[in-house]
Structure 1
Amino acid sequence: MTTVLFDFSGTLFRIESTERWLRAVLDAEGIALAEPELADTARALEAAGALPGGATPVRLPEEIAGVWRVRDQSAELHRAAYTGLSRQVPLPDPALHDALYDRHRTPAAWSPYPDAREVLSGLRERGSRIGVVSNIGWDLRPVFRAHGLDRYVDAYVLSYEHGVQKPDRRLFKVACEALDADPRDTLMVGDDRRADGGAAALGCAVHFVDHLPAAERPDGLRPVLDLLG
């Protein structure tokens, strides 16, 4: 295999915890909550699935179900889905729902997995072409630049820029074409067996990693180097 495609969230990067996410926005807005209230609110937001890249909703409200299924096909749908989930939880100021959404798009909200740089640089040294294929509603390129990983990526294929989301094989086809890669010589690495597994329909090999907090998965990406020999 000469080309490797990576998912973003849960594969190369992990979003911050829900409590840290909420705390950062409250601090930025100058709003203070007592610690028990802050913890309870964070738990409610997590159960709602309001943090993109975090937990899935425990219960998906009927009025959001339609947009949820296609949330990664445009920036507008993505924001509507996640702010809709956030609004299931009362906050001190209604404007905080949009502020929370905006926070998750910042590089500060994301951490690369501990072995991400090692694996990406190792692939680059071997001459592999590298792409990022993500179901997402915003431009993640600044996250890669801020963490110094953009230098290793040859192409970004983001669902909202193409109106197609994984597991649709068309998104993987776009990535292979952007990298001038034969799908039969391409490995897709991701954490979602349904979404990322869609690459197999195009003929790509697929390797899965566990979507865990960064500290709990120090070397989950290293087997990729072994797979490529």
Structure 2
Amino acid sequence: MPTTLTRLKATLTAFLANERFKQLRRKAHRLSTKDTHWSDLEYPCITAQHEWISEHLELESRGLAILQRISRLESKSTTTASDNDVNATVQGSKKEPREDTRLTVPEKATLLNTFIKIQQVIKAHLATIPPGNTTAAFEIDSKNLEPGTGRRAQWFHGRRLCAERGGCCARGCGCCERPVTKYIEHLLEDGKGRWTTVPLYGHCTAECGCCIRERGVYEPDKRIPDAGVVKGI
């Protein structure tokens, strides 16, 4: 059984971690607001920062769409009305349902290979980040992880846009609050290495299964390969 001292130490550690998370969010907010009054003047340095952030978020969204398609198709083996048949169902036709919506090995390999390439592009793109308060704030929020969940501070900024687009942040399903996937990362702490599981969060794309069911229509994300998409539907 943990001693009182151990519990107090754990509580203090959690408190300090949360305070640091909040402190970094405030720092990022202060940096981003410094350029706010210059945004409408279209200074080249300000425009370059916003364009870089838009490009980076677009790359991340493409990768997320791939993971959401894989997750959606692997979460079910049989279906009575697959997501790809929703259009036909809504229109009242009696199209035979697809019996197996699982990804084939080649399809999954195609998607994962594309995802890896996107991650490589993202890494290269990070090396081109233009200097400035806006990008500095973005960088802080991208690295600042919420204790307990591992969600980036940047994730919180995306909730409003997700809701406005009719995504899961506009509903009570909580899909965006759950990680899309997890990966293993090697960390160095106190000169010692250890492996840890890192959750990956994001917001809705055209491949979000919950949004597809909610809207009753599926339009494949054209930014990624059509692996796993039934042709002609």
Q: Which has the higher strand share?
A: 1
Q: TM-score, normalising length from structure 2? A: 0.30
Q: TM-score, normalising length from structure 1? A: 0.30
Q: Which has the higher helix share?
A: 2
> Larger Cα Rg: Structure 1 or Structure 2?
2
